[in-house]
Chain A
């Protein structure tokens, strides 16, 4: 467990050096991975999942992926955009008349 703390500390410090603002760090638990992953000449079966809320410029992404790729303790890395919570207006299935479907409409 102190190793995971050290890994997290390292990554967060590296992020802050590049000028990212860390908003939140969540631990999604430690569980057995869905499939065995080989990384850095080792087959991994269990892993801890962490989610870091970031605010940063997009030029940080590639150097950070490089940096995290070189770290042996990190099995998989990924950057995802913050999902904009907008799905409140789902108005249900609008029935389409079959004539519209038949008329060849290619957008």
Chain B
């Protein structure tokens, strides 16, 4: 028998941001991973992102807080109607 890698394997699962460049300037993208009530950043078990992207997002969110792009204690009310990326039930 010839040993070969499983040809029926599915391609590796991609997370939501798997190709998108994360920037501290686009507040809309960053606010999708923040709670609308408290403004706290969602953990990895809620967002379902890979290691790298989660780290990048947290760093970008903290930067946006300090530079004055994004509010800290809550989510901008204009961005409340964005599509839901995290699997959280209110």
Contact = CB atoms under 8 A, between A and B. Distances in A.
B40 interface: no
Contacts of B72: 34-35
**What is the size category of the interface that chain B forms with chain A?**
20 to 34
Q: Size class of A's contact patch?
A: 20 to 34
Chain B contact residues: over half helix, strand or loop, or mixed?
loop
Given A76-B67, A85-B21, A90 B13 contact: no
Interface of B: 11-15, 18-19, 21-25, 50, 52-53, 56, 63, 66-73, 76
Interface of A: 28, 33-35, 37, 47, 49, 51, 75-76, 78, 80, 83, 85, 87-88, 90-95
